Amino acid sequence: MPVAEVSNAPAKYSTADLFDVKTYPLNMPESPAYEAMLGAAIRGLNSVNCAQLASFLRPEILAAMQVEADELVPDAVFHDADLNPYFSQPPEGTPADHPLNRFSPRRHGMVRGDRFAHDGVIWSVFQNADLCRFVAQALGYEKLYTYRDPFACTNVNVQPDGCEFAWHFDNNDFTVSFVLKQSQQGGDFEYVPNLRSREDENYDAVKRVLDGDRTNLRRLKLQPGDLQLFRGGYTLHRVTAPEGAERQSLLLSYVTDPSDIATSDKATRIWGEAHPDHYARDEQLANAEAKRS
């Protein structure tokens, strides 16, 4: 599949083309209905670190996104590894039953951002300014920008039949995603809100969840077209294994620094190669360091 070329053409799809603006009036930020939508999202994020906005996409747009994603799935970069919930290696001498020593298989694929056609539906959703503004307001940021990293800007996450996305905490501040495909059985998003904090890793509580304690567990059966805003840094979460079908979700990445981009080393670790833009970032960082020295 050829890499998508950057297009400078005007956006092909308007906000009203892409989203159910009758239910979610993204294009009317001064309206009471917008304030109500925003307030509901903020309440979910402030209470349980999660907001679900059902059927956010227009049905015909969802169908077009599914077609685009299916065409690109054969190009997905698959990750197959045993990981602990922190994506780390435990210090020597860590007890075998400690959460840092609890490794689970994780297998999923990611379609790179440079695979998406810039005149397509998925790219138009990612670049939509009204959606970006809403995400920033809901998450409490003064302003966010679409991530310009050529590989990690927006991705389709592919979770094959039988492959669990095991318990983990996110390393990033938040995730923004749309479900594209869902299985009849499995594929549930499960999470335990506010399980750790900056001050306390709360390893005992994490261990109980890993051992099967479901006391404070919450479960979402996200459906195709649903938008999810999620703060996963302090919320242990997983996606159970889909049964009988593949689960797909679209991940949209936003940043506070418009110049932010991965280094070539990080890109190579994740994707197996780096883009010229990543090497340009290396040079930019090296020049900045030389000026400080």
Pair 238, 190: CB distance under 8 Å? yes
Whether 99 is covered by a domain: the verdict is yes
168 and 47 housed in the same domain: yes
222 and 290 housed in the same domain: no
62 and 172 housed in the same domain: yes
SS3 59: helix
The DSSP bridge partners found for residue 141 are none
**What is the predicted pLDDT for the residue at 85?**
95
Measure the CA–CA gap between 290 and 36, rounded to whole angstroms: 50
Domain count for the chain? 2
**What is the predicted pLDDT for the residue at 4?**
40
**What is the predicted pLDDT for the residue at 293?**
79
Q: Which tokens belong to 149?
A: 């990293």
273 and 209 housed in the same domain: no
Whether 9 is covered by a domain: the verdict is no
Range of the domain at 286: 264-293
pLDDT under 70 in the chain at which residues?
A: 1-11
226 and 150 housed in the same domain: yes
194 and 289 housed in the same domain: no
198 and 269 housed in the same domain: no
The DSSP bridge partners found for residue 63 are none
Whether 8 is covered by a domain: the verdict is no
Whether 2 is covered by a domain: the verdict is no
223 and 108 housed in the same domain: yes
Measure the CA–CA gap between 74 and 72, rounded to whole angstroms: 6
Measure the CA–CA gap between 39 and 47, rounded to whole angstroms: 12
**What is the predicted pLDDT for the residue at 10?**
52
Measure the CA–CA gap between 188 and 157, rounded to whole angstroms: 15
Q: What is the CATH number of the domain that holds 145?
A: 2.60.120.620
Q: Which residues contact 76 (CB under 8 A, 6 or more apart)?
A: 109, 110, 111, 156, 158
**What is the predicted pLDDT for the residue at 252?**
98
238 and 285 housed in the same domain: no
SS3 142: coil
Question: What tens digit of pLDDT does each residue of 97-120 get?
Answer: 999 999 998 889 999 999 999 999
| The dihedral formed by the CA atoms of 223, 224, 230 and 233, expressed in degrees to the nearest 10 | 90
